[in-house]
Amino acid sequence: MIIRAKVGKNGEVILTFANEFKAMHIDIITLHPGLLESPFQHSIVKRAIEKKLADVTIINLRDYGLGNYKQVDDAPFGGGAGMVMTIEPIANCIEELKAQRTYDDIIYMTPDGERFNQQIANSLSMHQNIILLCGHYKGIDDRIRQLYITKEISIGDYVLSGGELPAAILCDAIIRLLPGAISDETSALSDSFQDNLLAPPVYTRPAEYKGLKVPDVLLSGNPKQIDNWRHEQSIEKTRKSRPDLLS
C-alpha cells in the first residue's frame, strides 16, 4: 500500500492510498529545450528519474508555433521594446496536455511571482502532476495567466534570459524530497530552511587541520548533546546571516 500526501486548500495534509506508486510527472514547456538537458542527467535528480520516482518531459513550444515559421511571439500592443509570447501556441500546448491527465498546478516561472522557498518545495513535492511554463522575451500574454496559470513562482528578485534555469532549480528542489530519492531520507529533513533555520556547521575527517579542531561535542558520542549543539549553532548562524528568518 502506497501512502501519498497532498495539501488541501486550507493547508491541511490529505493522505491518499493506492496499490501502486505513481511517479511524479512534470511537463516543462520551453522555447529552448537544450537548456534543460544537463540538469536532469546528473546526481540525485537523475537517480530519481531512473528509479521511476519522477518523470520529466521537456516540450518544445515551437512545435505549437503558428504558420510556416512556427511563430511564438509578437510585438506588444501599445508599443515598447521587446516581444511577447503569444496566446495560441501556449494555450494549444496546455490544452493538449490537460487532455492527457489532471494537473495539480500549472506554474509560470516569472520574476514577479511568489518567491520560491523550502516550504513551497515541500508542498509541491506532494503533487502528482505539474506543468512548468518557462517565459521568454518580455513575458507571456497576460490572458494565459488568467486562463491557465494556477501559481506563479520566482527564484529571486532578478531577471534571467528565460524561465528554464528557474524551472530546473524548482525541479531539483522538489524531486530530491520524493521518498526514495535520497538514500538517507532524514538528510533532507535537516537541510537549511526546513525549520526556518540555516543548517549548522558540519565537519569530517581529519579532526584537526592547520590548528583548527572539530568541536569536542561532535566527538563526544552523546547524541543529545550533539543535537542541542547543532540546534544552537543553527539559531546563531541564522541570527548572523539571515535574521529575517527568525522574525
Which long-range contacts (C-beta less than 8 Å, at least 24 apart) are formed by 124-128?
Answer: 124/170, 124/174, 125/24, 125/174, 125/175, 125/177, 125/178, 126/4, 126/5, 126/6, 126/7, 126/13, 127/6, 127/24, 128/4, 128/6, 128/22, 128/24, 128/25, 128/104
pLDDT score at 18: 47
Q: 21-175 with 195-246: one CATH topology? A: no
pLDDT score at 7: 47
- For the domain made up of 195-246, give the CATH fold: Trp Operon Repressor; Chain A (1.10.1270)
Question: What are the residue ranges in the chain where pLDDT is below 50?
Answer: 1-3, 5-7, 11-19
Domain ranges of the chain: 21-175, 195-246
What separation, in Å, do the N-terminal and C-terminal C-alpha atoms of the chain show?
41
At residue 222, what is the residue type? N
Phi, psi of 13 (to 5 degrees): -90, 125
The 10s digit of each residue's pLDDT in 161-174 is: 999 999 999 999 99
Distance CA 206, CA 78 (A): 65
Which CATH number is associated with domain 21-175?
Answer: 3.40.1280.10
pLDDT score at 11: 46
